[in-house]
Structure 1
């Protein structure tokens, strides 16, 4: 069984950019106790080590940047594409929505719901030749590649996807499905 040394604990803490005070607060122990553990003056109880490692795990999750979980390249359509072409792309990839991007810049989004709605009271053959720009909705929210996972998860509570922009161009996308995959390790 591996038991961390005081130096191991200090290294983990500093690698996560946590102060002793921050770690103590997260673990529900005192800062002087963390200092004494790191100095080797105190052998912590197993329950205290468990609290410390739970705090490390929580901090690790907060420190994950969106660039580490995003998809790239981003499968998308353009505003000049036909609805038929957009529907084909979504069907091919099993998507219910996707971004509309022109020259690397997000200009909107399209979903199966929007396509179905556009077919109401219309000749399906006519609708298939409509342009995406005629039915697209708002663009997905955007973040930078260094945005943390917790911020992105809050944005995803209200949106189906988040686009990752670097220097004004789309470089990746994150969906709720990506977060679900993280549960599997």
Structure 2
């Protein structure tokens, strides 16, 4: 692990849009100490440097928004789509659940589990004679483009995906896989 020098700290702070006062407040250090470290006039203890680096790392993660990590376009189906067409779309894209949209607004979702449960209960004999609305479930949570990483992580604890909306219209989707994939970049 490389220890950052004074210019690394200053450059990262500026990149994140933070002032020296912001870093000082979040790290428990004084603004003048941050200024002296950035100017190179003081050689900080490792524990002091760690406080600053921890703040910068946390802010870097917090700076990532839903708009940054979502993928688009969203694969979805309409309420009146046949179950046969929906299953074909899910199969073609290798997905197990899919949002149900009306004019780019999420109104629910349909999943393999819902279809299997309906089959098990005897509610489906021929897949061609049913539409999505017959077996639609509650939809995925929807968040704005500006939502932070903490919000996304919290929602993905309880849901397979999160939809991202701009001005009420679904523009992207984030899955657990997307979040895990971010760690490999």
TM-score using structure 2 length = 0.86
Greater shift in the superposed pair: 41-50 or 151-160: 41-50
How far has the Cα of 1:35 moved from its partner? 3.0
How far has the Cα of 1:109 moved from its partner? 0.4
Q: 1:50-93 CA distances to partner (integer Å, 9 max, x unpaired)?
A: 44223212210111011111010001111111111111111221
1:4 maps to 2:5: yes
Distance in 2 of aligned mates of 1:67 and 1:121 = 40
Query: Which residue number corresponds to residue 135 of structure 2?
Result: 135
How far has the Cα of 1:30 moved from its partner? 4.4
1:69 maps to 2:69: yes
The 8 Å contact of residues 119 and 127 in structure 1, kept in 2 or not, is answered as no
Query: Which residue number corresponds to residue 112 of structure 2?
Result: 112
The 8 Å contact of residues 163 and 173 in structure 1, kept in 2 or not, is answered as yes
- Which ranges of structure 1 fall in alignment gaps of 5 or more residues? none
* Pairs aligned (count): 184
Query: Which residue number corresponds to residue 52 of structure 2?
Result: 52
TM-score using structure 1 length = 0.86
Cα gap change, 1:158 to 1:73, in 2 (>3 Å): same
How far has the Cα of 1:123 moved from its partner? 7.4
Distance in 1 of aligned mates of 2:14 and 2:62 = 15
- Three-state SS of the structure 2 residue aligned to 1:184 is coil
Greater shift in the superposed pair: 49-58 or 76-85: 49-58
CA RMSD after TM alignment? 2.3
Greater shift in the superposed pair: 61-70 or 31-40: 31-40
Distance in 1 of aligned mates of 2:22 and 2:4 = 22
Query: Which residue number corresponds to residue 102 of structure 1?
Result: 102
